[in-house]
Amino acid sequence: MTMNVLLTGAFGRVGTAIIDHLADRDEYNFTYLNRSDREEYETFVADVSNYEEMRPAFDDQDAVIHLAGYPETDGSWKQILENNIVGMYNTLEAAKDAGVPKFVFGSTNHVVGMYEVEFAPELYELDFDLTVDEDSPRRPDSYYGSSKSFDEDLGRYYVENYQSPEQFYALRICSVRHEEYDHPYGDAEHGVDEGEWERDSPEYEEKVARMKGMWQSRRDLAHQVDCCLQDDDVEFDVFYGVSDNDRRWFDIEHAREVLGYDPQDNGEEWDAPPEGR
């Protein structure tokens, strides 16, 4: 049977990874909700800060993957309040009102970002001993991270109080890149390129080491979302979205055990920048 899946914030880095890897699958029938449309995709144009505008997109959906929101730690209070706090309330309300049973939420490592701030740059080294898991106290590093922590709590409240949605998965995604930069050597937007730091400079080496720890390849992200869509057991749970990187400090054993997450990539596979860079 085909599962109808609503993808909000569909055309960002994470959304396009899901589209690239899952949209062709027979099990899924995707609807793309985004603030602006794209030539190549049929788009439900709506802003998640406007409940009335977005609500019709939730009819007849079996799952929502909620990625829409301000996506970075530099968000001002106003941007975060409207897009990530009110936006999450609107999305949970719309899902409840339409009876959508499954909710996959694009949370972020920045819910616990202060561990990195505290232990960087030693944290990026291969032998540094820290594991942040789903039980670690939350230590947000920004309004952005604080809002995603709130969103996780609000999702749990809807599941436990309304039983609607019936299932909620918070994926604390680390670093998913644009398709053309799907490796720890990054992209201009995230600073690991020759434009910003001279290659082989200490800053460049540190940034690459960090990315080798934080990277979640596009196929690993899409596979993890697929695990959530296929799962029948979770009511509420929190997982880290990261590849099986030797340098990672975020736990993936919980995702392996509960979801069957089986990442294929490891940031150490890249020991030099890809050809032509």
Nearer to a second copy, 147 or 175 (CB): 147
**Is residue 84 within 8 Å of residue 77, measured between CB atoms?**
no
Q: Is 139 in the site for a second copy (CB under 8 A)?
A: yes
Sheet of 3-8: strand order equals 44-45, 28-34, 3-8, 63-66, 102-108, 167-173, 236-241
Total residues at interface with a second copy (CB under 8 A): 26
Query: Taking the complex as a whole, how short is the minimal distance between the CB of residue 170 and a second copy, in angstroms?
Result: 12
Give the residues across from 45 on adjacent strands.
Answer: 34
The residue from 20, 43, 62, 81 that contacts a second copy (CB under 8 A) is: 81
Residue number with CB closer to a second copy (51 or 197)? 51
Residue 114 as a binder of a second copy (CB under 8 A): the answer is yes
Of 32-40, 63-71, 131-139, 190-198: span binding a second copy (CB under 8 A): 131-139
Is residue 74 at the binding interface for a second copy, with CB under 8 A as the rule?
Answer: no
Applying CB under 8 A, which part among 7-15, 130-138, 210-218, 268-276 lies near a second copy? 130-138
Question: In Å, how far from its chain's centre is CA 138?
Answer: 17
Is there binding between residue 162 and a second copy (CB under 8 A)? no
CB contact at 8 A, 253 and 135: no
| Torsion angles phi and psi, residue 75, rounded to 5 | -60, 135
C-alpha 76/C-alpha 144 separation (Å) is 8
Whole-angstrom distance, CA of residue 88 vs CA of residue 75: 16
Smallest gap, in angstroms, from Cβ of residue 160 to a second copy?
5
Q: Strand 3-8 relative to strand 167-173: parallel, antiparallel, unpaired?
A: unpaired
Residue corresponding to tokens 């990261």? 242
Structure tokens at 231: 């799962």
Q: Is 256 exposed, middle or buried (0-12, 13-18, 19+ CB in 10 A)?
A: middle
- Shortest reach from residue 110's CB to a second copy, in Å: 10
Continuous segment of H or E residues that includes residue 154: helix 143-157
- Could you say whether residue 276 binds a second copy (CB under 8 A)? no
Concerning whether 28 is annotated as a catalytic residue, the answer is no
* Catalytic pick among 124, 144, 185, 261: 144
Minimum distance, C-beta of residue 143 to a second copy, in the bound complex (Å): 8
What stretch of H or E contains 169? strand 167-173
Sole binder of a second copy in the list 153, 189, 196, 262 (CB under 8 A): 153
Least distance (Å) from a second copy to the CB of residue 247? Answer: 23
Q: Does 146 bind a second copy (CB under 8 A)?
A: yes
The binding site for a second copy (CB under 8 A) comprises: 77, 81, 85-86, 89, 114, 117, 135, 137-143, 145-147, 149-150, 153-154, 156-157, 160-161
| Catalytic machinery residues | 144
